[in-house]
Structure 1
Amino acid sequence: MKSTFLRPLLEAAVVLFIIIGAARWVTGLFSKRTHVYQTTVARQMRLLFWPLLALGAGLSVLPAVAMGEGPVSGFEWGLTAGFLLFTMALSGPAVLLHLRYWLLNHETVLVFQPTENRFEVYEAGQRQTFERRDLARIYRVTCRARRTFWARYDYLSLHLHDGRIIVLTSLLTDLEPLASFLRSLPTERSVQAWCWI
């Protein structure tokens, strides 16, 4: 019974994954390289793929044990709870970081083209007016834990002379080229186990 319910869902997910991958490949052939970065579904799925896969694996065990044939022993419930907690510990921090970064940057658009010395930030369609000389300092935070699901979540905080702070997260793009572009400014680098803002 379980396999008759889960098999069509799995087949639909595989077909959807193939269609999205093929559409992305075809559109990539005809599009030119962009210098405008924002939170796209493709970027979010690239960051969330493994955390969501682990979370799905952990959550799939619970209904399998609960709807299984015959009584379930306390030992089996203990193993199920342990596996569920383990997968939550693996994927939970990445999902929390993703939600936090999305709240910060879902309306942010970054226009960055270093060859033309172009660097602009838009919040909710409004350009944040500042020049490079208006930046007092840069705060760059990267993740120390390289082999975790949340290792690719990092952020860059731009502190302006007028007191404004603009936060750019890894949901927009890879921030290392931007940090290199701003290297002439005073930069404070921090390496943390978990890059919470």
Structure 2
Amino acid sequence: MKFVLLRPLLEVLAVLALVLGVARWVAGWFGKRTHTYRLTAARQLRLLAWPLLALGTGLSVVPALAMGPHGSASPLEWGLAAALVAVALALGAPAAVLHLRYWVLNHATVLVLQPQENRLEVYQHGQRQYFERRDIARVQRVTCRTRATFWAPYNYVRLLLHDGREIVLTSLLADLEPLTVFLRSVPTDRRTVAWAWA
């Protein structure tokens, strides 16, 4: 009974991952390498796959126990189900919350990075944020301390401009290490935290 909901979810995720992978591979053959980064479904799926799988697996036991015949589940079974749900929430919920936070910050953000042409542009809600590299007073690079968690890939860069503006670029847009390398001449504060809340 508990696999009735989980199996179709896993099949849909597998087909979606396969279709997105093939589409990306074909686009790589025929497309020009882009230096424009925005939120894409493929990147979001790659970051959210394991947290959603953990949440789906853990939460799937609750309907199975609840829909069983009245009184058929013992207190031990409910206790084990509660423990499994708690583990699933501990593994998947922090990553899902970070994902939602990063999506709110960067859903309307576009990053253009072309190091060979010394070009860095950020667009928010279709409007270009005008600044040059010399306008950046400081860069904060925040990464996750623990690499064995589902929220480890979530990190961000905060650009602190001389005029007081702050621009936050998250790992939902792109891998941020090339941006950090591009801005290596700007004073950079690197921090590692347990949970990279921006």
TM-score of the alignment, normalized to the shorter chain, above 0.5: yes
Counterpart secondary structure, 2:105: helix
For 1:6 and 1:148, how far apart are their aligned partners in 2?
A: 22
For 2:197 and 2:185, how far apart are their aligned partners in 1?
A: 26
**Cα deviation, residue 12, structure 1:** 4.7
Number of aligned pairs? 197
List runs of 5+ in structure 2 lacking aligned partners: none
For 2:91 and 2:38, how far apart are their aligned partners in 1?
A: 27
For 1:143 and 1:4, how far apart are their aligned partners in 2?
A: 36
For 1:102 and 1:127, how far apart are their aligned partners in 2?
A: 19
Counting only pairs closer than 5 Å after superposition, residues 25-104 of structure 1 correspond to structure 2 as 25-68=25-68, 71-104=72-105
Q: Scaled by the length of structure 2, what TM-score is found?
A: 0.92
Question: Residue 108 of structure 2 corresponds to which residue in structure 1?
Answer: 107
Tell me, yes or no, if the aligned pair for 2:36 and 2:113 is still in contact at 8 Å: yes
Deviations 1:68-104 (A, max 9, x none): 3571001100100110010100010000000000000
For 1:5 and 1:153, how far apart are their aligned partners in 2?
A: 28
**Alpha-carbon spacing, 1:154–1:2, altered in 2? closer, same or farther (3 Å):** closer
Query: Which amino acid counterpart does residue 75 of structure 1 have in structure 2?
Result: L
List runs of 5+ in structure 1 lacking aligned partners: none
Question: Once superposed, what is the RMSD of the aligned Cα atoms?
Answer: 1.9
For 2:142 and 2:176, how far apart are their aligned partners in 1?
A: 10
Counting only pairs closer than 5 Å after superposition, residues 107-146 of structure 1 correspond to structure 2 as 107-146=108-147
Deviations 1:143-192 (A, max 9, x none): 10110000010000000010000000000101111111101111111110
**Alpha-carbon spacing, 1:4–1:170, altered in 2? closer, same or farther (3 Å):** closer
**Cα deviation, residue 8, structure 1:** 5.4
**Alpha-carbon spacing, 1:104–1:7, altered in 2? closer, same or farther (3 Å):** closer
Q: Scaled by the length of structure 1, what TM-score is found?
A: 0.92
**Alpha-carbon spacing, 1:192–1:15, altered in 2? closer, same or farther (3 Å):** closer
Counterpart secondary structure, 1:121: strand
Q: Percent identity?
A: 64
Query: Which amino acid counterpart does residue 96 of structure 2 have in structure 1?
Result: V
**Alpha-carbon spacing, 1:164–1:55, altered in 2? closer, same or farther (3 Å):** same
**Cα deviation, residue 7, structure 1:** 5.3
**Alpha-carbon spacing, 1:184–1:14, altered in 2? closer, same or farther (3 Å):** closer
Tell me, yes or no, if the aligned pair for 2:123 and 2:129 is still in contact at 8 Å: yes
Q: Which moved more, 1:95-104 or 1:56-65?
A: 56-65
Counterpart secondary structure, 2:97: helix
**Alpha-carbon spacing, 1:94–1:74, altered in 2? closer, same or farther (3 Å):** same
Question: Residue 167 of structure 1 corresponds to which residue in structure 2?
Answer: 168
**Cα deviation, residue 63, structure 1:** 1.4
For 1:164 and 1:5, how far apart are their aligned partners in 2?
A: 47
